[in-house]
């Protein structure tokens, strides 16, 4: 039952916002009593934490699969972008805003865990790109991997990038291109342009 509650709560939280969804809403959507939810989660904050960490773990596992199967780091980043966009396609921008505002401790814990899980993956991808001569050999991988992480979190900040002004896919696409153009070699640029062209065709 615990997994089912997390799954339904995730669906509601991401589409309606963490603050907007009540325990009554979840119970009603599942056709169970609120008492059943409280038997598994002592309060809403505990449920919010379980949901957010469950989402992170799933995304991390899928990214690990992409890391192992991608032909090169540029393809890898584009595949990750497509996966994340598809997985979070029903997420409202207000979901992250509400998590940060109303559950700040959970948000902070999530950001720390996200960095722990994702940072090494990004840095290893940069190192691989240098070895394949797709990325410039003089880049500081420790620095750039952190800048990339901060940027990916930053473009989801509704106070800066309002969803009324910026489409989520546009933000992801633009930031990824911005990041890669700063580090690619001439060889890498040719490959990057290929993926940009493919994406424009797919999104047309």
Confidence (pTM) = 0.86
Averaged over 41-58, what is the pLDDT?
Answer: 96
pLDDT one-digit tens code per residue, 145-168 = 999 999 998 998 888 998 889 988
**Distance from CA of residue 69 to its chain's centroid?**
19
Tokens 């339904």 belong to which residue? Answer: 8
SS3 at position 174: helix
**CA angle in degrees (0–180, nearest 5) for 18-174-128:** 100
State residue 91 phi and psi, 5-degree precision: -75, 135
pLDDT one-digit tens code per residue, 155-203 = 988 889 988 899 888 999 999 999 999 999 999 999 999 988 887 766 6
More confident residue, 204 or 124: 124
Residues 174/176/181/186 CA torsion (nearest 10 deg):
-120
Q: Are 74 and 177 a contacting pair, CB within 8 Å?
A: no
SS3 at position 52: helix
Interatomic CA distance for residues 56 and 147, integer angstroms: 20
- Enter the CATH code of domain 52-203: 1.10.357.10
Whether the per-residue pLDDT at 89 is higher than 80: the answer is no
Tokens 């722990």 belong to which residue? Answer: 116
Interatomic CA distance for residues 204 and 187, integer angstroms: 26
Calculate the average pLDDT of the chain.
Answer: 92
């Amino acid at each position: 039952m615990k997994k089912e509650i997390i799954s339904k709560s995730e669906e509601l939280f991401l589409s309606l916002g963490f603050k907007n969804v009540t325990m009554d809403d979840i119970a009603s959507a599942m056709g169970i009593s609120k008492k059943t939810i409280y038997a598994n989660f002592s309060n809403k904050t505990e449920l919010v934490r379980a949901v957010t960490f469950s989402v992170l773990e799933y995304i991390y596992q899928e990214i690990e699969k992409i890391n192992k199967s991608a032909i090169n780091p540029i393809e890898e980043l584009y595949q990750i972008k497509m996966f994340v966009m598809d997985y979070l396609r029903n997420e409202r921008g207000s979901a992250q805003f509400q998590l940060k505002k109303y559950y700040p401790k959970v948000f902070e814990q999530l950001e720390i865990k996200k960095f722990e899980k994702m940072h090494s993956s990004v840095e290893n991808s940069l190192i691989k790109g240098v070895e394949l001569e797709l990325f410039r050999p003089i880049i500081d991988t420790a620095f750039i991997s952190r800048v990339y992480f901060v940027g990916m979190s930053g473009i989801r900040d509704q106070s800066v990038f309002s969803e009324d002004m910026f489409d989520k896919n546009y933000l992801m696409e633009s930031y990824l291109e911005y990041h890669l153009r700063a580090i690619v070699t001439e060889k890498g640029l040719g490959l990057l342009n290929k993926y940009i062209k493919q994406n424009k065709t797919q999104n047309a």
